[in-house]
Chains A and B, each alone.
Chain A
Amino acid sequence: MIQPVTIALDCMGSDHGPREAVQAAARLTLERDDLRVILVGDVDQLGPLLDELSYDPARLSLLHTPQWVEPEDHPRTVLLDKPRASILEACDVVAAGRASAVVTAGSTGAAILAAAQRLGRIPGVRRAALAAVTPTEQTHGPKKDPFALLLDVGATLDASARDLVTFAIMGSAYAAAISGNPAPRVALLSNGTEAHKGPAEVVEAHRLLSELRGIEFAGNVEGLDIPRGTVDVVVANGFLGNVVLKMIEGVGEVIADLAADAYARKYLWRLGLTLLSSGIEQIQAVMDWESYGGAPILGFTQPVIKAHGRSRAPAIANACKVAAKASRSDMVRVVERSVAQLPTDAEELLA
């Protein structure tokens, strides 16, 4: 049997409360013998939830925290006000070597600050990047994955040229480690494919990446290239990336709603949709963010996976599986090695 990977799962602060995280962990203990979970949160809430479920106690333990980050808390001040918040304790467990990765469906800002405080950044990384997968028409890598990586989707709202270069390197390394893609094609998101198009930092990042060795830089891509999937990794600042990601999610949900509405309205449309149902199901499966699990927050010395705040148990379980994969593939070390090549090249380039 392969050595199990232990995940520190922050159970608090998500939209649906700790029930979903506890359900996810309980299910994983029965389905995966290569995973162990430490449930981090208020044991007085987690314990009774666990007692209602089937689980294997040998494969999970609980770590009590009397505090946690609420959705309305401000990330910058909350970690000072709540020094024993569950996300901080989850990071501590990983820093102490008792677990290999952190998973949270709580506040993204708090997760980034907690990871920066307790795990630290990879040398050479100034800002973290949240990477999300987004469904594409073309497949990617040897596993023919039907999605591309988009980063940053909200960790660093205003990124400098150097930050964008770092994101590109981290995204490339992550795609190589997780998807097994030896040379992922990386592009900058802009309002035109020409090198001079876009804000100053994007133009500058384009120049730097064009001259950087060890990365398959494909230039700029436009918004329409994201769903087409012309490249494997798309780099943007956190503001733009977040807007794009939410729009893709919104479009998917609206299409599903429109189909449901059409189904209810006319018999003819119902018949048509019934005939197309298997195709629609496939599209829904590709568009379903819950099936992709969580998004890695890249740049820290240990894997940190952020699940959607609206995540139900299956999505949190998938996030834990992504975390295990990241840990097992030594994703952070791969990113670290790639970034380590940056200072010489980039400093020279930046100079």
Chain B
Amino acid sequence: MTDWRHVYRWDLDKTYLETHFESLSRLVRIAFEKPEEKVNVPGSAALLRELSRPREGVMPNRVCIVSGSPTQMRKVLEQKLALDGVTWHEFHLKPQWDNLRRGRLRAVRDQVGYKLPLLLESRANVAAGTGETLFGDDAEADGFIYSLYADVLAGRLDSAQMVRILKAAGAYPDAIERCVAAASALERADDVERIFVILDKRSPPANFRALGSRLVPVFNYFQAALVLFAGGHLDAAAVIGITRAFLEEDRHPVDELANCFQDIVRRGHLPGSAMQELGLAVQEQIEATAEREVIWNCVQRFMDLGEARAFRKPQGPDATEYLSLLDALKRRS
């Protein structure tokens, strides 16, 4: 088994790619888009490229992609990732045609019974103790599935509890069996460090409190990059590069990025000391004028928080109530 420094698991639609199918014509257009026509969520390509980039003298990171897009889109999606300069180690797509052919209509929409077995099976490729960071969005149940995976992996949920949740989610028996088999083969370890949920639908951050403090709701990848920098996953140069990409791709003015910085600090996910470190690194990059301006604006926003700036990470419940959360999810959808 290869030793991996860290595992990054990504969803694609609405997490990596802008896939807003608000109309049938838009949905059809997305299905026939060429790789170069596909649009990234701002900053996603720059961030995933950084995370997947091999570094000299450092163990590689493992990138696993689990997407709800149909398997027929594999070629175009792989070409898109290659165009973005992203390398990956696993890439799973949903066998939608197979589900339809076998009359498994529930499985067409169900994400829990699709993603959880894949995540647990994929974990067999890495040694216990290897940390994981997962990326999803608020359009479907990514936060729920990732948290469930983290709790099964950590041994906080036993097999019987997992089966009850999967049944309640409407998973088919074969999916449940795969989960039980994969989970029983795993060495229990509390290895999921963080779950990022991109608030594509602008869901209120408090909606995710019930899933615990390891879940970080972010409004964009600038916020995610800052949190990853503070956690030692990215260096300052990488954050500056992502900031630059963000300024170019999204046309966000400098002060808007500073507002996003203040937001993630205020919500307790980023220690203010990270700013100091980043500021020093930017000083050394003489040419990075716009990025330097972002940092100075961030410093000002940090000062604006004044005496109230000792923000603590929001604390989640002692144990996640998955069954009641599932009810809430069903009601929302």
The answer to whether A and B come from one shared complex is yes
A42 — which chain B residues lie within 8 A by C-beta? 308
A111 to chain B: closest CB distance in Å?
21
- In the assembled complex, the Cα of A64 lies from the Cα of B311 at a distance in Å of 13
B193 at the interface (CB under 8 A from A): no
Number of interface residues of B (CB under 8 A): 27
A92 to chain B: closest CB distance in Å?
12
A66 — which chain B residues lie within 8 A by C-beta? 306-308
Dominant SS among interface residues on chain A:
mixed
A44 at the interface (CB under 8 A from B): yes
Q: Is the CB of A57 within 8 A of B219?
A: yes
A192 at the interface (CB under 8 A from B): no
Known: A42-B308, A64-B305. A54 touches B256 (CB 8 A): no
A43 at the interface (CB under 8 A from B): yes
The 8 Å CB contact of B204, one of A52, A61, A64, is A52
Q: Is the CB of A53 within 8 A of B309?
A: no
- In the assembled complex, the Cα of A47 lies from the Cα of B262 at a distance in Å of 11
- In the assembled complex, the Cα of A62 lies from the Cα of B262 at a distance in Å of 8
- In the assembled complex, the Cα of A66 lies from the Cα of B259 at a distance in Å of 21
Q: Is the CB of A61 within 8 A of B306?
A: no
B217 to chain A: closest CB distance in Å?
9
A144 to chain B: closest CB distance in Å?
36
A64 — which chain B residues lie within 8 A by C-beta? 304-309
Q: Is the CB of B266 within 8 A of A62?
A: yes
The 8 Å CB contact of A43, one of B205, B220, B308, is B308
A237 to chain B: closest CB distance in Å?
39
B198 to chain A: closest CB distance in Å?
13
B263 at the interface (CB under 8 A from A): yes
Contact with A along B308-328 (1 / 0, CB 8 A): 110100100000000000000
Number of interface residues of A (CB under 8 A): 23
Q: Is the CB of B304 within 8 A of A58?
A: no
- In the assembled complex, the Cα of A63 lies from the Cα of B255 at a distance in Å of 14
The 8 Å CB contact of B202, one of A30, A48, A52, A62, is A30
- Contacting residues of chain A (36-53) with chain B, CB-CB under 8 angstroms: 36, 42-44, 47-48, 51-53
B257 at the interface (CB under 8 A from A): yes
- Contacting residues of chain A (63-80) with chain B, CB-CB under 8 angstroms: 63-66
- In the assembled complex, the Cα of A58 lies from the Cα of B250 at a distance in Å of 12
B304 — which chain A residues lie within 8 A by C-beta? 61-64
The 8 Å CB contact of A56, one of B202, B305, B307, B314, is B202
A263 at the interface (CB under 8 A from B): no
- In the assembled complex, the Cα of A66 lies from the Cα of B308 at a distance in Å of 8
Q: Is the CB of A61 within 8 A of B202?
A: no
B262 — which chain A residues lie within 8 A by C-beta? 57, 61-62
B79 at the interface (CB under 8 A from A): no
- In the assembled complex, the Cα of A60 lies from the Cα of B219 at a distance in Å of 13
Q: Is the CB of B307 within 8 A of A51?
A: no
- In the assembled complex, the Cα of A319 lies from the Cα of B311 at a distance in Å of 31
- Contacting residues of chain B (282-307) with chain A, CB-CB under 8 angstroms: 301, 304-307
B3 to chain A: closest CB distance in Å?
38
B154 at the interface (CB under 8 A from A): no
A65 — which chain B residues lie within 8 A by C-beta? 306
Q: Is the CB of A59 within 8 A of B307?
A: no
A55 at the interface (CB under 8 A from B): yes
B305 — which chain A residues lie within 8 A by C-beta? 43, 62, 64
Known: A51-B204, A61-B259, A62-B305. A56 touches B267 (CB 8 A): no
- In the assembled complex, the Cα of A48 lies from the Cα of B202 at a distance in Å of 16
A46 to chain B: closest CB distance in Å?
9
- In the assembled complex, the Cα of A65 lies from the Cα of B303 at a distance in Å of 12
B256 — which chain A residues lie within 8 A by C-beta? 58-59
Q: Is the CB of A51 within 8 A of B206?
A: yes
B186 at the interface (CB under 8 A from A): no
B76 at the interface (CB under 8 A from A): no
Q: Is the CB of A55 within 8 A of B202?
A: yes
B182 at the interface (CB under 8 A from A): no
B190 to chain A: closest CB distance in Å?
26
The 8 Å CB contact of A51, one of B205, B255, B257, is B205
B184 to chain A: closest CB distance in Å?
39
- In the assembled complex, the Cα of A127 lies from the Cα of B69 at a distance in Å of 66
Q: Is the CB of B204 within 8 A of A53?
A: yes
Closest residue of chain B to A41, judged by CB?
A: B308
A56 — which chain B residues lie within 8 A by C-beta? 202, 219
- Contacting residues of chain B (189-206) with chain A, CB-CB under 8 angstroms: 202-206
- Contacting residues of chain B (232-290) with chain A, CB-CB under 8 angstroms: 252, 255-260, 262-263, 266-267
Q: Is the CB of A58 within 8 A of B260?
A: yes
Known: A47-B266, A52-B206. A59 touches B259 (CB 8 A): yes
Closest residue of chain B to A42, judged by CB?
A: B308
Q: Is the CB of A54 within 8 A of B204?
A: yes
- In the assembled complex, the Cα of A45 lies from the Cα of B202 at a distance in Å of 21
- In the assembled complex, the Cα of A251 lies from the Cα of B305 at a distance in Å of 44
Can you show 13 pairs from A to B with CB atoms below 8 A apart? A30-B202, A36-B255, A47-B267, A51-B205, A54-B204, A56-B202, A56-B219, A57-B219, A57-B259, A58-B257, A59-B256, A61-B259, A62-B305
Q: A57-B219, A61-B301 are known contacts; what are 5 more A-B pairs with Cβ within 8 Å?
A: A44-B308, A51-B267, A54-B204, A62-B304, A64-B304
Interfacial residues, chain A to chain B (CB-CB below 8 A): 30, 36, 42-44, 47-48, 51-66
The 6 lowest CB-CB distance pairs between A and B, nearest first, are A57-B263, A64-B306, A43-B308, A58-B256, A64-B308, A51-B206
